[in-house]
Amino acid sequence: MGHIARAHRRTARARRLKRIAERFRTNDFYRAYTPEEVGRVYSQSRIVFNCSIAGDVTMRIFEGTACGALVLTDAIANGLDELFEIGREIVVYRDDEDLLAKIAYYLAHDEEREAIARAGQRRTLREHTYLHRVQRIIEIVSAPEFRPMAPMRVATPSERWRARREVYIHLHILDALLDEARDAGFGPFRRARAVWPCLLRRLFL
């Protein structure tokens, strides 16, 4: 299972997917899938291939493991080993040849592949769902040490009212300027130029 978006047609991901397709059966990685179709393809796949973007952990890792497939990803030095136990819950490859060799190995060793896939699925459902992330974000922003970074949390009711009033007034000023420029027959670029001084004042004053 893999996908080449239009922006990735000349990347390592595209090269690797093409090499995989030369040796193994894959999904149609040039077409776009609906969310429902993506879930079905993941669930039907024995191995989900991932190639990170800019060295980041991508959603494909969590989606593939959640659907019970073995996820085979490049070695990401960006916290992947904190999210999954490498070799037990997820598998990494070092280069193109290692990728092809590991696909062949795990397709030939069903029990080992399925054990890793099950372990990865358990880890994702236990720790890495959207609900887990939302709960963690709420914990962080609610922590006492973060209150000084959110002054509206400790502001008095009158301070909050004044802040909201100021934002409301300036939004209406911008709206009025844009409407005036539009009525004068200005195009989008000239309308943007008309409000630019107002925006600069708000940024630097």
pLDDT tens digits, one per residue of 7-49: 456 678 888 989 999 999 888 777 777 888 888 899 999 999 9
Nearest to 45 by CA among 120, 128, 145: 120
Q: Are 51 and 74 in contact (CB under 8 A)?
A: yes
- pLDDT at position 202, please? 57
Q: How confident is the model at residue 168 (pLDDT cuts 50, 70, 90)?
A: low
Instruction: Name the DSSP letter for residue 46.
Output: S
Torsion angle of alpha carbons 143, 145, 147, 150, nearest 10°? -100
Q: Are 20 and 40 in contact (CB under 8 A)?
A: no
Q: How confident is the model at residue 77 (pLDDT cuts 50, 70, 90)?
A: confident
Q: How confident is the model at residue 170 (pLDDT cuts 50, 70, 90)?
A: low
In the chain, how many H helices and how many E strands? Answer: 10, 3
- pLDDT at position 9, please? 60
What CATH number does domain 6-142 carry, 3.40.50.2000, 3.20.20.140, 3.10.20.340, 3.30.70.2170?
A: 3.40.50.2000
Q: Which is higher by pLDDT, 91 or 159? A: 91
- pLDDT at position 56, please? 86
Q: Which residues contact 89 (CB under 8 A, 6 or more apart)?
A: 65, 116, 119, 120, 122, 123
* Residue 204 in this model has a pLDDT that exceeds 70: no
Cβ neighbours of 72 (radius 10 Å): 25
CA–CA separation, 199 and 148 (whole Å): 26
Mean pLDDT is lowest, of 18-22, 66-70, 107-111, 140-144, for 140-144
Q: How large is the average pLDDT for residues 94-112?
A: 97
Domain locations along the chain? 6-142, 155-204
